Structure 1
Amino acid sequence: MPMATGTRKRLTSAAITLHHPLDYYFALFLRAKKTEGLKPRTLNDHESHYRYFQRWLTGKYPTLKLEELTADHVRQYVQHMLTEQTLYTGHPTLESHNTDIGLSPATVNIRTRTLKCFLRFLHDEGYLQTDLASRVKLQKVAEDTLGAFEKEQVLQLLAAPNQREFLGFRDYVLLTLLFDTGLRINEALNLTLDDLYLADKTITVRASIAKNGTSRVVPVSKRTAELLSALVQENLSQFSKRSPSNLFLLNNGKPLTYNQAYERIRLHGENAGITGVRVSPHTFRHTFAKLYLMNGGDLFSLQKILGHQDISMVRKYVQLNNRDLQEKHAQSSPLVGM
């Protein structure tokens, strides 16, 4: 009895699967995501997270074929991230600075989500017979576990850059901007002169650089507006005829990159003696959110400033310790002033 056409097609597809390495299918996935309009940073995350998985899989199961991949293999990789992987493995500058074993559940979830997206693509496109993505679960993470700087640590960090030097002043302005606005680091690094409205004390985060693809206007304090204006003048004096449009530049006039900014911020934290919290660009965003509310700001204006469409996402940025709660109670108790 001859096989049905659909069955023959599935068998042919499975036979082709045997002859392609996993990289081949990831290239197909990446092309699909590019046509969907994903931002370069998101595409880079997909690629780097895939490489982590691919290196682990090649080392652990070097002869494994795609059609042999199971949910248990993926769970083994998740377990590896939780209990065996060194923090910053594969990072171009930070790998040698940390020997802690095991990624945080939140970090594991970020990498698992991108992997599940790839696995779902393989199933939807017919390259995997089993929907492995639906079988791999995320880690349970407490909602308010993201750290923030204490006020004293903010002052220590701002005092760390040597403002008498161009790079030190540039870093000081960047740190001040992050603390004052809660911008994502890539949003800050991609600001140009045309995004500044310093007379109005606002900056515009263009849709093309915003993570959610939506433009927003972010207020800045008078002090930050003055510093941004001073940095623009410093850039013009350093690179007078080239007139670079980016705000945060290297000594050669090229834009400061994410990895370079990350390393500079880490070094300033190290020089300032900051301990007990990760000194990273995203910690500034958490700190801004917490202090904004502590100083009387409301959750809905904070949501607009941070550029989140879901209020529940904003809540994850705010972690109040016992001292914070005592201060807020002292300001807001009904008995105050009675």
Structure 2
Amino acid sequence: MPTATRERLASSKITLHHPIDYYFDIFFRAKKIEGLKPRTLNDHKSHYRYLQRWLTKHHPTLKLEELTADHFRQYVGHMLTEQALYDGHPTLQDHNTAQGLSPATVNIRTRTLKCFLRFLHDEGYLQTDLASRVKLQKVKEDTLGAFEKEQVLQLLAAPNQREYTGFRDYVLLTLLFDTGLRINEALNLTADDLDVANRTITVRATVAKNGTSRVVPVRKRTAELLAALIQENRKQFATRCPSTVFLLNYGKPLTYNQAYERIRLHGDKAGITGVRVSPHTFRHTFATLYVLNGGDPFTLQKILGHHDFSMVRKYVQVNQRDLQEKHEQSSPLAGV
């Protein structure tokens, strides 16, 4: 109920007394009907849950019509200074007491909440457009890290390939390094998505973050490893083997949280320091090394699946040593 309904509500002075959760359920149902991807829906739900927890503690009787932009500014301040760094993480929340989220993480959560607020205003539940008054944090560019070349080799050497889970992890790490796939794109890969002869994998539209399918090239070695893992899956799990490539050792698909934890463990084993060992770091590493090795940024944009070239720029992080090496190779005075 856009403008006309909102005006009727205002003129009749109808007071809404439902809890805020009631309106989030309406919002969430609308987003499901719009066809948002499960990961996006989960983000909306978990980010609202963090807000809800904060409101329960600091404003337990707050009604929707009492919400102001200042409530959200207070909450943003809480995220920046007081929010437990790994709150809600399946494995790290009990082992790390650090507080204060990065501005980039705060922006991710703020964007989903602004989407909720904008919906409430557009539908006539909020008379004030609070979303436009809640601002994002300024984030420094070039803050997204990547692995050094030596760290790539250390990580690939970490899994024990004599075990099924170790071999599976090795193939996953190889795939992420070789293609820059998002972790969910890799975990949803099926045997039918792999073309060994042409050395490509298809990221289906239903899996891709932007809803657009793309074909990603892989090296011959990576294609062979994926084919070998598929064969091992069929041997291990016989008729009950799903088509998904990356499985647990009892045949169920590997989940995001489980993959995140396995990658973190391999990072610990490899002694990686100075950079976050997470699935997304592999994507940054692929982009950076791709360009350093001579790949052009326009091809990189297609491989990464970005419509906006500015996003590609954020993924390419060249450190000072690489910058100096590239200058030595490319300077007009090279070889003079």
Segments of 4+ moved more than 4 angstroms:
5-8
Distance 2:242 2:52 in 1: 39
Q: Give the distance between the partners of 1:220 and 1:163, measured in 2 at CA.
A: 21
Question: Partner of 1:276 in structure 2?
Answer: 274
Q: How does 1:1-338 map to 2 (within 5 A)?
A: 9-10=9-10, 14-15=14-15, 17-18=16-17, 20-338=18-336
SS in 2 for 1:95: coil
Counterpart-to-counterpart distance in 2, 1:306 and 1:8: 47
Displacement of 1:144 after TM fit? 1.6
Q: 1:151 to 1:66 in 2, by over 3 A?
A: same
Hey, what's the Cα distance between the residues in 2 that align with 1:243 and 1:131?
Answer: 51
Any idea what the Cα deviations from partners look like across 1:68-98, whole Å, max 9, x if unmatched? Answer: 1111110000000001111120122221232
Secondary structure of residue in 2 paired with 1:96: coil
| Cα distance, 1:33 vs structure 2 | 1.1
- What CA distance in whole angstroms lies between the structure 2 residues aligned with 1:303 and 1:250? 32
Cα 1:7/1:195, change in 2 over 3 Å:
closer
**Length-normalised TM-score, structure 2:** 0.96
Number of residue pairs aligned between Structure 1 and Structure 2: 332
Taking a change above 3 Å as real, the CA distance of residues 154 and 7 of structure 1, as seen in their structure-2 partners, is: closer
Deviation at 1:7, TM superposition (A): 6.3
Asked if 2 retains the 8 angstrom alpha-carbon contact of 1:120 and 1:133, the reply is yes
Give the 3 Å change call, closer, same or farther, for CA 225–130 of structure 1 in structure 2: same
Counterpart CA distance in 1 for 2:313 and 2:153 is: 25
Distance 2:250 2:41 in 1: 28
Contact map agreement 2:241 2:251 (CA 8 A) in 1: no
- The whole-number CA distance in structure 1 between the counterparts of 2:237 and 2:130 is 53
SS of equivalent to 2:277: coil
CA 1:329/1:8 → structure 2, altered by over 3 Å: closer, same or farther? closer
Aligned pair in 2 of structure 1 residues 160, 129: CA closer, same or farther (>3 Å)? same
Q: Within 2, Cα distance between the matches of 1:252 and 1:49?
A: 32
Farther off after superposition, 89-98 or 111-120:
89-98
Contact 2:6/2:127 (CA < 8 Å) preserved in 1? no
Aligned residue for 2:144, secondary structure, equals coil
Structure 2 CA distance, aligned partners of 1:8 and 1:295?
62
Offset, 1:124:
1.1
| Contact preservation (8 Å) 1:161, 1:268 | yes
SS class of match (1:217): strand
| Mean CA deviation greater in 238-247 or 114-123 | 238-247
1:268-299 Cα offsets, whole Å, 9 max, x none, are 11111111111100000000000000100010
- Structure 1 counterpart of 2:183, which letter? I
Letter of the 2:97 counterpart: T
Checking the alignment, whether the CA contact within 8 Å between 2:86 and 2:93 is kept in structure 1 is yes
1:268 and 1:103 map into 2 onto residues whose CA distance is: 24
SS of the residue corresponding to residue 216 of structure 2 reads: strand
In 1, the alpha carbon distance for the partners of 2:87 and 2:182 equals 23
> Is the 2:121–2:127 Cα contact (8 Å) retained in structure 1?
yes
Q: Distance in 1 between the 2:313 and 2:282 partners?
A: 15
3-state SS of paired residue (1:204): strand
| Identical-pair percentage | 81
- Unaligned stretches of 5+ in structure 2? none
Q: Counterparts of 2:103 and 2:200 in 1: how far apart (Å)?
A: 36
Q: Is the 8 A contact 1:14 1:127 kept in 2?
A: no
Q: Where does structure 1 lack aligned partners over 5 or more consecutive residues?
A: none
Q: What is the CA deviation profile of residues 14-43 of structure 1, one whole-angstrom value per residue up to 9, with x for unaligned ones?
A: 42x21x111110010011111222111111
Cα distance in 2 for partners of 1:239, 1:6 equals: 57
| In structure 1, distance between residues paired with 2:6 and 2:119 | 20
Secondary structure, counterpart of 1:297 in structure 2? coil
Distance in 2, Cα, partners of 1:118 & 1:219 = 38
| Cα offsets for 1:46-85 (capped at 9, x unmatched) | 1111101111111111111111111111000000000111
CA distance in 2, matches of 1:159, 1:101: 33
What SS does the aligned partner of 1:97 have?
Answer: coil
Q: TM-score, normalised by structure 1?
A: 0.95
